[in-house]
Structure 1
Amino acid sequence: MISSINPTIKAFAILIPGILLSFTFDVFTPLVYFLFILIVTFTMSDIPFIKWLKIFSPFLLVALSFAWMTILYTNQTFSYGEVLFTLFGIEITRGSMITGISLALRSLCFVCLSILFALTTNSTKFMLSLMQQCKVSPKITYGILAGYRFLPMFRDELQILRQAHRIRGFGRTKGIKGKWQQFRRYSIPLLANGIRKAERVAIAMESKGFTGDTDRTYYHEMNVSPKDWIFFFLIVGAFFIILAFSYYLGYLNIFGKQF
């Protein structure tokens, strides 16, 4: 299962194709890789389809809007080929259509890769992996973890503040001045509570001997196993195989240059 893959290896496996995809401007490469990511997502992970669909659907609308605006306002470098039709006085060429669809498919690939990583990765294990495999400073990683843990607490405290204000007769205000006053009523108590919690966390970490030194032992050891490298070469290797097929079939287009 993908959830058991080392988070750092998984991050690089997803990051490399994501960056390289941004250089391709044909339809074939991102389309085939998008289908490949879908197959990997639903065969090698336990992500519920309904949950995945709820996260993916808004980005689908965003990708379609990207495609539409790119088709209408494509740079001259990519507006090659014959004119397919005219819309509102704007000539839609074959090149602009391909570029717009390619941009939408690349965006969907980025979204699918991001969802795959986010829903199959434990945040704590990811930070531990960054410390142990990438030698990131514990001060940075533990600081990120502490801030991440505070987010649900801030949400709960904000809800409590809102309820307390309603009991005292402070409902939702209208206008810019009212919104600003409401923001002050919420932000000052939240900021004060955040400072108190940060001080408590700092004292607790210092009392347990945390100095931020990279030369330290870990209770949870994050190791890199052969299955991690198999996953890495599967995700990255599949991209280069698709890229080779695209070149062989004559579809590969990099920055408007056909290969």
Structure 2
Amino acid sequence: MISAINPTVKAIAVLIPGILLGLTFDVFTPLVYLLFIISVTFLLSDLSFKRWIKFFVPFFLFIASFSWARLLYTSETFQDGSVLFSFWAFEVTTGGLLVAVSLALRSLCFIALSLLFIMTTDSTKFMLSLMQQLRLSPKITYGVLAGYRFLPTFKHELEVLRQAHRVRGVGRAKGIRGRIRQFKRYSIPLLANSIRKAERVANAMESKGFTGEHDRTHYHQMTVTKRDWRFLGMMVGALFLAFVASYYFGYLNIFGYQVN
């Protein structure tokens, strides 16, 4: 299962294809790899399609909008080919259409890779893996984890403040000035509470001997196994196979130059 892969290795397995895909300008390579990412996401994880598509669709609509803009404002380098149709003062050529579709597919690959990582990775394990495998400073790691744990409490405290204001007859603010005053009423108590919590957490960590040194034991030991390396090889290897297939069929385009 993808969720059992070491988070650092998984991040590298997502980052490398994302960088390499940014070099391609053809349609075939990102299309093949997008189908591969979606297949891996659902075959090797227990994610529900309904939950995945809920996050994917908004990005798809956004990508469709700026791909349409890219289609209309294609640079002269990619305006080759015959004119397909005219839209007001714009002429859409086959070259411009291919570039716009390629941009959309590459962007969808980036989104699919991001969802693959985010939806199958535990944030705590990811930070611990960065600390143990990539030697990230424990001060940064535990600081991020502490801040992440405080987020749900901020939501609860904000709701308590709103209810307290309603009990005292303070209604919802109207207008720009009213919203600014309301923001001050909410932000100052929340800021004061967050400072007090940060001080308590810092004192607790110091009392338990936290010094920020790397030479320490860990309750959760993150390791890199052969399974992690196989996942990395699969993700990168599939992209290189897509490059080879694209070159074989004559579609491969790097930085706007057709590779034959």
TM bucket (normalised to shorter chain) is over 0.9
Question: Any idea what the Cα deviations from partners look like across 1:89-109, whole Å, max 9, x if unmatched?
Answer: 200011111111111111111
Rounded Cα–Cα distance in structure 1 between residues aligned with 2:172 and 2:257: 56
**1:3 Cα deviation (Å)?**
0.4
Check whether the contact 1:21–1:30 (CA below 8 A) recurs between aligned residues.
Answer: yes
Partner of 1:42 in structure 2? 42
Q: Which runs of 4+ in 1 moved over 2 A?
A: none
Report what 2:193 is aligned to: 193
Unaligned segments of structure 1, at least 5 residues: none
User: Which residue does 1:218 correspond to in 2?
Assistant: 218
The answer on whether the counterparts of 1:25 and 1:256 sit within 8 Å (CA) in structure 2 is yes
Paired AA for residue 26 in structure 1: D
Q: Distance in 1 between matches of 2:189 and 2:29?
A: 52
Measured in 1, the distance between the counterparts of 2:148 and 2:60 equals 28
Q: CA deviation at 1:168?
A: 1.7
**Matched AA of 1:122:** D
Q: Note the 1:155-166 alignment, pairs <5 A.
A: 155-166=155-166
Instruction: Answer yes or no: is the 8 Å Cα contact 1:37–1:109 preserved in 2.
Output: yes
The equivalent of 2:169 in structure 1 is: 169
2:213 alignment partner AA = D
Amino acid at match of 2:191: L
Deviation at 1:139, TM superposition (A): 0.6
Aligned residue in 1 for 2:182: 182
Letter in 2 for 1:38: I
Match of 1:73 in 2: 73
**Could you tell me whether the CA contact under 8 Å between 1:30 and 1:106 is conserved in 2?**
yes
- CA–CA distance in structure 2, aligned partners of residues 247 and 66 of structure 1: 28
What are structure 2's unaligned runs of at least 5 residues?
A: none
Give the corresponding residue for 1:238: 238
Counterpart of 2:114 in structure 1 is: 114
Q: Is the 1:66–1:103 Cα contact (8 Å) retained in structure 2?
A: no
Tell me which residue corresponds to 2:203.
203
Distance (whole Å) between structure 2 residues aligned to residue 208 and residue 75 of structure 1:
61
Asked if the contact 1:23/1:254 (under 8 Å) is kept, the reply is yes
Give 1:75 shift.
1.5
Distance 1:88 1:201 in 2: 62
List aligned pairs for 1:9-88, cutoff 5 A. 9-88=9-88
Alpha-carbon distance in structure 2 between the residues aligned to 1:164 and 1:28: 58
Cα distance in 2 for residues equivalent to 1:82 and 1:4: 50
**Per-residue deviation at 1:66?**
1.8
**1:63, 1:104 within 8 Å by CA — same for their partners in 2?**
yes
- Calculate the aligned-residue CA RMSD, in Å: 0.9
Deviations 1:98-141 (A, max 9, x none): 11111111111111111111111111111111111101110111
How many Å apart are 1:255 and its aligned residue?
A: 1.6
What code does the residue aligned with 2:49 have?
A: F
| Residue 133 of structure 2 corresponds to residue 133 of structure 1 | yes
TM-score between both structures, scaled by the size of structure 1: 0.98
Paired letter, 1:14: V
Deviates more, 1:2-11 or 1:244-253: 244-253
Deviation at 1:220, TM superposition (A): 1.2
Equivalent position amino acid for 2:157 in 1: E
Structure 1 residue 215: Cα displacement? 1.2
Q: Which residue of 2 aligns with 1:123?
A: 123
Q: Distance in 2 between matches of 1:116 and 1:228?
A: 15
Counterparts of 1:234 and 1:174, CA distance in 2: 56
